[in-house]
């Protein structure tokens, strides 16, 4: 069973990447955080937010969108 925080992160990511959201996020967590995405926790969120920001910045020159996306992911740290 996947964690609530993972599902919330996927929902946020879907707003930016559409159907590619879950695959993108899963790869970020597996590769950069070295863990199974199903076990994502609130304490993992700061690291994930940074990696998401770096990865999305490579794909888009829209700094406002990149910062917004990262901040929305970061907001999950307190939940």
Name the pTM for this structure.
Answer: 0.91
CB-CB contact of 49 with 70 (8 Å): yes
Structural tokens at position 68: 């917004």
Q: What is the pLDDT of residue 79?
A: 60
Residues 75 and 62: their CA atoms lie apart, in Å, by: 20
Between helix 63-74 and helix 45-59 the angle, nearest 10°, is 160
Average pLDDT estimate for 6-10:
97
**pLDDT tens digits, one per residue of 25-79:** 999 999 999 999 999 999 999 999 999 999 999 999 999 999 999 999 999 998 6
What pLDDT sits at residue 78?
82
Q: 56: buried, middle or exposed (CB in 10 Å: 19+, 13-18, 0-12)? A: buried
């Amino acid at each position: 069973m996947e964690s609530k925080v993972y599902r919330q992160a996927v929902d946020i990511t879907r707003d930016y990447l559409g159907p590619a959201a879950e695959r993108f996020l899963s790869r970020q967590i597996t590769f950069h955080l070295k863990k199974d995405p199903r076990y994502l926790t609130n304490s993992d969120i700061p690291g994930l937010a940074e990696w998401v920001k770096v990865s999305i910045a490579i794909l888009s020159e829209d700094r406002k969108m990149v910062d917004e996306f990262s901040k929305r992911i970061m907001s999950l740290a307190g939940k």
